[in-house]
Structure 1
């Protein structure tokens, strides 16, 4: 359970394998400066987050934002406690307590997620970082009382629910979460970075997840004292955003939270930057596929003007394809596969980081010399006006998209809570925007010179208010009812066909000035023309330049108008995705048409992307989950099947090495034609407005004379028995277990029953597999089962990453659960009622964003499903009976014939797995080839 950093940093942090936990700090999308250079910038829409703040008599700060576009309310409760409030011996307590608070309270002693699943909550989680802990969920409006009752019950009525059994259970879960993070490539980097960049005793000198010895030392008295110290209302901020007004919010906040005592006064450190002047060099080894360079400077804390300026500087240096370091290291000289720079904002101090991954054979010293050279130029002259303007617009455009949601990571409730907890001002994002808006190249250069010219690592007392609490509060004898269904209003689909034969499907939605679209073609990984990796490489090359624009010119043009364009494949289709502000839709469509009809496929770009894809394949072979995605296709589908290809789309080293420009052109010409595609559009437009724009942009794109392509997706017979395949991963502290088989296509009449059936066994947090391996045994951080969508037979997988010494026992437990499920312990009325109400009640939150709506319409198109599949979904779920679900389990699941894949240290697990006698044991290498024993 983690909280994501700034939106523009999220993918980077996750890609670095991070257990780094940080808060959001988004920018306002108020109008940019009046001297902006283009009409698009001048027309940039203004998005405001109106709110009202008040404080209950017991000290609880409450913030309310009204947004009536969907019948949902985001509840976001932030406690002002994080790992910086710990001390040696208690490191990891804040995060451990986050887990404990999901284990029930005095008046609801059960899994916290259960009533929320029944109510249809979306975006529910809890996270901890160095500075705060938060709990959040978005619920249909009728479930708001339940959500507030639950949150207030664990704030004011939790102490008596903490037991030794629960402590031991969640201690085990957290330790497995720590193992899982550290078991990934680069997973141990962040512990080292925290310890080495801050002095001993500094609150940021240990990782948020803590250390095993401190977790082991946590006893009931210490844990209870931690709760009594930090989890009172005077140390918390509650945000309600969405389908609610201030008067209702005030009444409900007083009802549910007003009777809770404030909590003790606290002493808190204001800042400790710990800036260094001397360089510090360090090295470590890890099981990683590439060498990585990290340069870290300790900088100004979050909220400071310098921190805002450094954020802009980081984007100029390494924030995208047109950044200075990317162009030189990745694009031009091709010395690195990636380079990124970002500011890690925190209350006491910030950090500026540059991270580069070297290509094979390139020394880190060479890369560091180039980084130092480019940084020196930047410190002397700063950014250009053009660079700075582009970054400003890009950040503002990102904020417009982020404010579409009321809840979840980076949504409006998150932005308001972050401002209040970190700066005492829910509207702090406006100050952040003002700093960005007024920044000049000279200001950026000055701030960078102050903080980045030396000290690289080469890694406020005020009277405590007299709080009072009311004598009585909410009824704690029962949980508030979630009865009452929130209706979902989806736009009617409109259809048209362009003069060139391209089908158009539109779902208009006008609340946010954004238009999203997917141009979907039959093709995908299954249309690889006999060449694994070809679909992935072709679609990756589509946005690498056109006949009139280089890759960097195309990226700059998109960034300048705040448009995102991406490409991708799944099993059956290939797609181009476009996300545009309404004010720049004409320019965005022109760019998409250029990318679609005039891809350059330049040899220099091809060789660069080929090299990066080959490096990516090597990285896949270093990660257990990725290894599984390369080996399972062969095991499930066998040779020659359309779906037998690495599911990442990366292909193999040999096939990718042999692909030519002609191969890419052939794939493009074969599949990407008007009569083989459908354009799916959602957002702020109408068919009357859209069609002329599309005709103009795509008038030159016509159906070729060659016949329409086709594919053959054969049906595979079921295996006669189970087989266990093992892949050696020496030194692993966990084993990755996957039990798999093939099931019916997504458009099969029984697909919905199968999906509901799977929710019970492994598709939800409260499913049987997760309750067993995580909550009961605490051998794993989680265990789930799922399918990948496909027109043909779909791969079904039950997975768990477990501590190494429990591998065989975990496999036995998984098999036991499945056999019982299809045998003497089928789905119960209670289980089915929970999963069905969950699916129905979470629909309002499911369709909050354009992207979610686009995804659902895309599914209709791709799998030739009727509109009722989406519009009548709730009725179809409700009418799916218990017997149909039980029958589906018996007929579709075959535990005795599972294909098992286990990746771990075979010296520790192989003999015990063989003793299980599940099936024949076969050892494979990381390519999927049998290994002689």
Structure 2
């Protein structure tokens, strides 16, 4: 799918008039602005657009293909509206919008939508904040009531306690996704150097910790009053709806909310750099990074599309110049180019991660030489054709769900004032010429200055591309006018009782997609369904075996995924570059990947290009070249990837946890990538033999979803009959060692600001209607949804984490029950205590009546959302054929759900939550976390990053009777190309 990371800027408006909010209900009538319909097969999303008297924009898209509705409320405010010294506030406020309002209790927004069988979230970027729900169509009024209540009745429900908990949650989010993630500070460091001090793009949406510590509740309230008026919002509703009913609901719930202060767009001067700005920082990474960023143009600028095309030519895919000069030559692990844009600016970005032995100085030289090479060779017709085909397929894919269509309508209205911006965008990209691409190269890149960032491993400050020569200053900064004076909170005046939750309409009729089956003579099991919503076809092959087959020769573990990587390379007739070029010109994709139990082949194609795509699929599947140069490069990359995992706490945690679960002699204890030792053992002949012995139609399932019927697709797949079957014997894996008693395992990661926690045991294999399914229902209350006991405790009550959960994860093999979270290091012991407390209480006291009712309502109604997109349909069908499920298994699941009792749930909890026989594992700073863990009374074993014992175990003499205290108290007071967004959950 074509996606482009977009930056977003909304400049702060400077108001000439004093701010006033009317206390009167807005007068006048709702006005229809336009109605757009589709003519023939044109690329248009039909909609109706209205404006309420208070300025709220309402956009409605009617689509009865599935019994679901997507509601999006977008406020034209993001981090670009923040003040210097108060960064991160837009995102912080997004969190607060989920903490209850006058008529909706704390955490009830999540609970009500989940109970209705829906999903929800919120995201923030530099330009806007949006809140959205996807729900069964009979729950539309509830969604609109919820959104209107927090738009009009938020502030009296805001408390200091809620404020502090969400401040802690946001800080955890920053730690998890930025401070403690490899290369997590790249964007922040670049933005600070690229934009002038005080520019709304000079900080990231997450904000700075010191700013989050500085803000108070009054700041939050003023932010709400300034930016969250209905006249700065677009409500977009799409799906199985009647537009006239939507209008009435919108008028009822949003119509009385007073208009807010006016919000004006702002243009800022284009950023120019007087010289190359070299900046750097040290990070806990294996590979250094070179990143060159040139300032360009805003979104929807005429030069945006040709700059996007330039980025594709320079650094996207196997036909790009950077791939040829850096990846193919084994000088870099990664090299790419991108062009994120926003309302006020864009950034043309070139990034390289060199192999060990290469310097960032050399990388900069090669990148600059590659730009000179492009200047000499120019732009080919093929390059432009590939770019346009890829863009067209990406657009079509983005419209396969109602949420995708609604999101695009909402974004277009917010930023251009025209929901129907898609045809203009399409025309803009289809009009790109070779001359356009050369022109923008000369205008924005050639001989222009850039921010050049070096990220180097800790202790290697000398490894930068060039010494730092820039630090931002506030010399020329002039603070904008105060936007927050004189704001007053005036509640809407209604003629109905908002405290009464709307009733649900009649439950929509949900039917499992009709599907067909077929069996080919060579053993391939086929299952498929016709889907006419978009002119696309998805094929999903699953060749059973995968990493599990390495049990036959564990010394070469990782061979399955390495073989899959080789199938993404050259065929007998075509080089990898030629195959990639042809696929991109078709707007198609073919990818191979190696998993624990299968090799997966994923194919996507527009219907009109299906025959040509299948011809290329035959080349890759049945006629791989297995070129020695490709193998050497991929093996080298694989070894570096494995070594790099030692810098990533989440990967360490998962790998060590698997080793604890499955034991030394089980292949499932070994990562699918393999280890340094096992991958070093693999030769090209080994890969060829693995392909010959195990890549067989006799163990292959094929799922087909798309705008083609069985009679139309099967003849096109005739090449599969040439695939000769061979017997493949699946190994019998050894029994995993039992856990005789609960122990604590620590993997030391010095100075880690967060700890990764895993608690669990090897539980059950997959069973669609048996104990596994029922145990999943049991766990839903414990840790299976946002309002679960575990998440509400650790995230919403304690503020220890950005998110905590538990789940059963069985396949055809026995899989684990795992409770997990990433938590602040200084509360690691307390977090473990809370996990144990919740599991113990649930096992001992059982489920409550209201929790059982919530479970049945939530899980029972979510079927409406299960089968909407082609990908969802493919996963559903894949499970049917993989596990040989009965055609009516969904019906049986619903019967189990509706009939399950408290006694059954409680019995499952007692049986399948054996707290006395679980492994508790943490990856974190031992010196900080071990003293508190010793108070738990469990034996403690220290492991290294490979899961091997690091020293003798320590056994405390007496268990703790109470939870250990925290080490320190809480500190006082991105469809179409989109910016990386920050989500609430």
Compute the TM-score of the two structures, normalised by the length of structure 1.
Answer: 0.91
Following TM superposition, by how much is the alpha carbon of 1:880 offset from its aligned partner in structure 2, in angstroms?
A: 2.8
402, 425, 429: which one pairs with 1:432? Answer: 425
Q: Deviations over 1:534-564 (max 9, x none)?
A: 1111112112121111111121122111111
Q: Contact conserved, 1:735 with 1:803, CA < 8 A, in 2?
A: yes
User: Structure 1 residues 450 and 79 mapped into 2: Cα distance closer, same or farther (>3 Å)?
Assistant: same
The match for 2:409 is: 416
8 A Cα contact 1:740 1:798, kept in partner: yes
Q: 1:594 to 1:881 in 2, by over 3 A?
A: farther
- Which residue, out of 814, 819, 830, partners 1:809? 830
Alignment partner, residue 183 of structure 2: 186
Cα distance in 2 for partners of 1:871, 1:358 equals 53
2:449 is matched with 455
86-95 or 370-379, which moves further after superposition?
A: 370-379
Which residue of 1 is the match for residue 464 of structure 2?
Answer: none
Higher mean alpha-carbon deviation, 149-158 vs 364-373, is at 364-373
For the Cα contact (< 8 Å) 2:2–2:391, is it kept in 1? no
Pair 1:473–1:615, CA change in 2 (3 A): farther
CA gap of 1:225–1:903, structure 2 versus 1, over 3 A, is same
Residue aligned with 1:481, SS: coil
Which residue of structure 2 aligns with residue 665 of structure 1?
A: 688
Corresponding residue for residue 718 of structure 1: 738
Distance in 1 separating the partners of 2:192 and 2:141: 43
Return the offset for 1:725: 1.3
Q: In 1, are the aligned partners of 2:8 and 2:344 still within 8 Å (CA)?
A: no
After TM superposition, give the deviation of residue 750 of structure 1 in Å. 0.4
CA distance in 1, matches of 2:908, 2:505: 29
Query: Which residue number corresponds to residue 971 of structure 2?
Result: none
Which residue in the other structure is 1:34 paired with? none
1:647-662 alignment runs, 5 A limit: 649-662=672-685
What is the distance in 1 between the residues matched to 2:951 and 2:165?
A: 41
Contact 1:257 1:473 (C-alpha < 8 Å) held by counterparts: no
| SS of equivalent residue, structure 2 residue 187 | helix
Aligned mate of 2:715, from 677, 687, 692: 692
Structure 1's 789 and 320: CA in aligned 2 closer, same or farther, altered over 3 A? farther
Query: Residue 436 of structure 1: CA displacement?
Result: 1.2
Q: Distance in 2 between matches of 1:380 and 1:536?
A: 39
Taking the aligned partners of 2:900 and 2:687, their CA distance within structure 1 comes to 45
Partner of 2:91: 95
Aligned residue among 125, 136, 140 for 1:140: 136
Q: Does 1:338 align with 2:334?
A: yes
Assess, with a 3 A threshold, how the Cα gap between structure 1 residues 312 and 570 changes in structure 2: closer, same or farther.
same
SS in 2 for 1:621: helix
Q: Which residue of 1 aligns with 2:542?
A: 520
Deviation at residue 602 of structure 1 after TM alignment: 1.2
| 1:245 Cα deviation after fit | 3.7
* Residue 638 (structure 1) aligned to one of 663, 675, 682: 663
Q: Counterpart in 2 of 1:442?
A: 435
Residue correspondences, number: 882
2:380 to 384, 401, 404: 384
What is residue 532 of structure 2 aligned with on the other side? 510
The aligned counterpart of 1:580 is 605
Rounded Cα–Cα distance in structure 2 between residues aligned with 1:898 and 1:325? 48
The aligned counterpart of 1:923 is: 942
Match of 1:8 in 2: 3
Matched, 1:796 2:796: no
Q: Which residue of 1 aligns with 2:958?
A: none
Alignment partners' CA distance in 1, 2:143 and 2:71 = 7
Residue 236 (structure 2) pairs with residue 239 (structure 1): yes
1:613 corresponds in structure 2 to 638
Partner of 2:906: 886
Could you list the runs of 5+ residues in structure 2 that have no partner in the other structure?
11-39, 454-479, 482-489, 953-985
Alpha-carbon shift at residue 871 of structure 1 (Å):
5.1
Distance 1:600 1:880, change over 3 A: farther
Are positions 1:819 and 2:840 aligned together? yes
Partner of 2:567: 542
User: Which stretch of the first structure deviates more once superposed, 424-433 or 277-286?
Assistant: 424-433
8 A Cα contact 2:2 2:390, kept in partner: no
Instruction: Tell me by how many angstroms 1:115 deviates.
Output: 0.4
Superposition deviation, residue 640 in structure 1: 2.3
CA distance in 2, matches of 1:22, 1:606: 44
CA distance in 2, matches of 1:827, 1:355: 51
What does residue range 849-868 of structure 1 map to in structure 2 within 5 Å?
849-868=869-888
CA distance in 1, matches of 2:548, 2:495: 60
Alpha-carbon distance between aligned partners in 1 of 2:743 and 2:638, rounded to the nearest angstrom: 31
Residue 587 to residue 46, structure 1, CA distance change in 2 (3 Å): farther
Name which of structure 1's ranges 133-142 and 496-505 shifts more when overlaid on structure 2: 496-505
Give the 3-state SS of the residue equivalent to 2:303 in structure 1: helix
Question: Is the CA contact 1:732–1:904 (under 8 Å) kept in the aligned structure 2?
Answer: yes
Distance 1:879 1:135 in 2: 34
Q: Secondary structure at the match of 1:586?
A: helix
Provide the rounded CA distance (Å) in 2 between the counterparts of 1:469 and 1:478: 17
- Gap change, CA 1:769 and 1:470, over 3 Å in 2: closer
Supply the distance in 2 between the matched residues of 1:319 and 1:56 (Cα, whole angstroms). 45
Cα separation, 2, equivalents of 1:265 and 1:22: 18
Per mean C-alpha deviation after superposition, the further-off stretch among 637-646 and 775-784 is 637-646
Offset of 1:927 from its aligned partner? 1.5
Kindly indicate whether the alpha-carbon contact (under 8 Å) linking 2:766 and 2:811 is maintained by their aligned counterparts in 1: yes
- Indicate conservation of the 8 Å contact 1:571/1:790, yes or no: no
Task: Give the superposition deviation at 1:469.
Answer: 12
- Pairing 1:625–2:650 present: yes
